[in-house]
């Protein structure tokens, strides 16, 4: 399994659920589809997932998650990025490149109107769930690594500083401010 296969798995899961904006449902479907694959593919998917988590470990995205969810701890940022992965490759790549683009997504606009947080911890466990289903065992220790990059020092400020966030994420600020 490579990155292209991983994203196809996400896309396939999104087409098989009633509401593709329901990240929990997408995650369940991803785990079920992944469980049908060989154990080596499941292990590869686990590493690919954490590679995406590392690629999206960016301060501007964290500020966006903080704005959307009304705060965002370390774990909360992980769960937000899990939600983001469940949205598919095109959305993921666009938003990682420009977090303010979140404001244009219908699912984000609906969440803002309803006061709903965007997060999905379940995405982070899809390989664990799939591996257990496929093999009856837990993922082997050391089956993945994660190497988070340093955060951008230009974003090293309190995300409660509404003025600074508004300057950097104007569309999200207009939606949530």
Give this prediction's pTM.
0.97
Q: How far apart are CA 51 and CA 68, in angstroms?
A: 24
Residue 3: which of 104, 118, 88, 129 has the closest Cα? 88
Q: How far apart are the first and last CA of the chain?
A: 42
Mean pLDDT of 104-109: 98
Q: Could you read off the pLDDT of 5-46 as tens digits, one per residue?
A: 999 999 999 999 999 999 999 999 999 999 999 999 999 999
What confidence tier does 95 reach under pLDDT thresholds 50, 70, 90? very high
Considering only CA atoms, which of 159, 168, 171, 161 is closest in space to residue 69? 159
Confidence check: pLDDT of 177 > 90: no
Radius of gyration of the chain measured on its C-alpha atoms:
16
23 token code pair: 């990240």
Longest dimension (CA), the chain: 51
- Work out the average pLDDT over 68-82: 97
CA geometry: angle at 122 spanning 114 and 13, to 5°? Answer: 85
pLDDT over 90, % of the chain: 98
């Amino acid at each position: 399994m490579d990155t292209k296969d991983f994203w196809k798995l996400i896309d396939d899961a999104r087409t098989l659920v009633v509401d593709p904006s329901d990240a929990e449902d997408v995650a369940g479907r991803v785990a079920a589809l992944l469980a049908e694959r060989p154990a080596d593919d499941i292990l590869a998917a686990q590493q690919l997932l954490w590679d995406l988590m590392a690629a999206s470990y960016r301060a501007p995205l964290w500020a966006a998650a903080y704005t959307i969810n009304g705060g965002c701890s370390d774990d909360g940022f992980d769960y937000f990025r899990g939600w983001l992965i469940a949205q598919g490759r095109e959305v993921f790549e666009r938003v990682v490149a420009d977090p303010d683009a979140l404001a244009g997504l219908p699912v984000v606009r609906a969440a803002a109107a309803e006061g709903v947080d965007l997060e999905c911890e379940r995405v982070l466990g899809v390989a664990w769930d799939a591996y257990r289903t496929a093999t009856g065992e837990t993922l082997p220790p050391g089956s993945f690594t994660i190497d988070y990059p340093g955060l951008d020092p230009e974003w090293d400020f309190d995300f409660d500083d509404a003025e600074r966030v508004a300057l950097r994420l104007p569309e999200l600020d207009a939606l949530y401010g």
